[in-house]
Amino acid sequence: MMKKDMYFSSTLLWGCSLEELFATWKQYGIQNVELWAEQMAQFDLDLKTYRTYAKAQGITTVVHSKSWDLNFASLNEGIRKSSIKEVKKSIDLAALIGAKEITVHPPRQTVNNLDPNIYQYAYEGIKELHLYARERGIVLSLEIMEKIPKEIITSDVELQQVVGDLYEELEYTLDTAHCTDEAEIFAYLENIQNISKIHISNKIGTKLHTPLFDGDYDFKTLIPKLLSYDIPLSVEGLDTGLEYTLLKETIEFIEKLEEETLC
C-alpha cells in the first residue's frame, strides 16, 4: 500500500498540539512521520510525550534537523559553532524519541566565492555531525539542495566533492523539488550511493514544494516509478492554516492513485 509505506512531514500540520498531531495521523492512517525539530521547539512540544504517543500508536519517526537560520560553513565563526550546536540538539532529539535517522541540510556560502575555507568548514562540520549522530545510534542523511545561489551541494558531483572520503559512510536524502526534471531524479537514483529516502513534492518552474497534484511533475506516473526503487518516500509541505486542507487533499490524491493502480 502506497500511503502505508510513505512518510508525511509534520509540517503539514504546523501549529498542532501533540494530541492533535497524533489524532490526525490516526484519522488518516499515517504510520510514518518525518518530524521537524524546528516545529517541536517552536511550539514547545514535549519529547517524552511524543515518544509515548508514537509507541502507543505504532508511529515510525525520522527527524528533520533544524535548518532555518543555520549555516555551519558561515564566514562568522560564532554562527558556525552555534549551527553545529543546534544540529546536535536535533540529533539528541532523534535519540530521545527513538528515531533512527535525521535529515540534515548541508551548509552554504555566506557570500558567493568570498571565503576559500568554506569547503573545509563544510567537510569538517558534516564529519563532526556524522560522528556525533553515529555515537547515538542515529543515521545522518544529508539532503541534496535546490539549485540556488550560495548552495554548495546541489548535484551528485558537488556532493562527492564536498563530502570526500565520507561519501560511502553517509546516507543521503533526494528531493524531487530540488531536481531540474524527472531525468535528473532518476540519474541521481542511479549515481548516488546510500539514498535513504526521497522527499516528494511538486514544483512550478522555480516555485518549489507545491502539492503533489499541482506542478510540473506528473506524480500519478512518478510515484509508482519511485516506489520501484524500494526507497522510502516522504511527503513534504507546509500548511499553517487551521483546516489543514493540504494534508487532506494529498491523502485523497494518493488514495485515488492507489485505487487506480490496483484496478
Can you read off the three cell numbers belonging to residue 215? 506542478
What is the maximum span of the chain, computed from C-alpha positions, in angstroms?
Answer: 58
Its pTM stands at 0.97
**Cell numbers at residue 87, please?**
544540529
pLDDT truncated to tens, each residue of the chain (263 aa)? 678 889 999 999 999 999 999 999 999 999 999 999 999 999 999 999 999 999 999 999 999 999 999 999 999 999 999 999 999 999 999 999 999 999 999 999 998 777 889 999 999 999 999 999 999 999 999 999 999 999 999 999 999 999 999 999 999 999 999 999 999 999 999 999 999 999 999 999 999 999 999 999 999 999 999 999 999 999 999 999 888 999 999 999 999 999 888 76
Determine phi and psi for 119, rounding to 5 degrees.
Answer: -70, -30
Task: Outline where 58-142 has alpha helix (H).
Answer: 77-97, 118-135
CATH number of the 2-262 domain: 3.20.20.150
What's residue 122's pLDDT? 98
